[in-house]
């Protein structure tokens, strides 16, 4: 059986951290900057960064519609922080010229936890993972509405944001408000790779 190859969207944001995590897991990967880079991948990671900038670069680079098409076509996709914002079909507190990939039937509030000075860490219980997962939130969004086909995987356990939804899944699309790629804990990525393994052969 052919080993999976994961694409990492590399127009802006924290690409290197996801590359290091996949290297740690021994998974082949490539940066996705142009349309041809989508060919031959079995899954795609949308990293953290600045979501409005990323969406404008996707449009300028001709990747916006092709990404919407491969996501609608069931390609497994995992978005962290800004990646979650891009995947949502509705975003609050964003710029009017921002674009969405419509991969998740959710409403996300951008920068819901505050600015960078309000970044924090927490231990989260995540559906499908046995032990609590360390989570780093950096100017993170949260989910304010989930559609009927969306599964809530994790919520903030305590503090002012207790109960906020911070991890969701809809079919082959996974998203987290937090950044597992900066903690050294590979379990969220391994969970995503399990979705890739169950999916259809590469494009």
CB atoms under 10 Å from CB of 119, counted, come to: 14
pLDDT tens, residue by residue, 49-93: 999 999 999 999 999 999 999 999 999 999 999 999 999 999 998
SS3 assignment, position 53:
helix
Assigned fold of 5-198: Rossmann fold (3.40.50)
Could you write out the three-class secondary structure of 77-139? Answer: EEEECHHHHHHEEEEECCCCCCCCCCCEEEEEECCCCCCHHHCEEEEECCCCCCCCEEEEECC
pLDDT score at 93 = 86
d(C-alpha 113, C-alpha 116), whole Å: 9
pLDDT score at 150 = 98
Q: Is the dihedral of CA 144, 77, 121, 185 positive or negative?
A: positive
pLDDT band at 143; cut points 50, 70, 90: very high
Q: Which active-site residues does the annotation give?
A: 81, 179, 181
pLDDT band at 203; cut points 50, 70, 90: very low
């Amino acid at each position: 059986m052919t080993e999976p190859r994961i694409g990492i969207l590399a127009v802006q944001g924290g690409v290197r951290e996801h590359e290091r995590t996949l290297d740690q897991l021994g998974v082949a990967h490539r940066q996705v900057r142009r349309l041809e880079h989508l060919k031959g991948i079995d899954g795609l990671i949308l990293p953290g960064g600045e979501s409005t900038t990323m969406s404008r670069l996707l449009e300028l680079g001709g990747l916006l519609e092709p990404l919407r098409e491969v996501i609608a076509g069931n390609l497994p996709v995992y978005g962290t922080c800004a990646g979650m914002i891009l995947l949502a079909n509705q975003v609050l507190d964003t710029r009017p010229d921002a674009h969405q990939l419509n991969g998740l039937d959710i409403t996300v509030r951008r920068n819901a936890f505050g600015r960078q000075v309000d970044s924090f860490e927490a231990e989260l219980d995540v559906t499908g993972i046995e032990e609590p997962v360390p989570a780093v939130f950096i100017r993170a969004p949260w989910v304010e509405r989930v559609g009927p086909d969306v599964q809530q995987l994790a919520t903030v356990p305590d503090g002012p944001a207790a109960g906020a939804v911070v991890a969701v899944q809809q079919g082959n699309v996974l998203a987290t408000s937090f950044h597992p790629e900066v903690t050294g804990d590979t379990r969220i990525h391994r969970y995503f790779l399990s979705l890739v393994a169950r999916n259809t052969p590469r494009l």
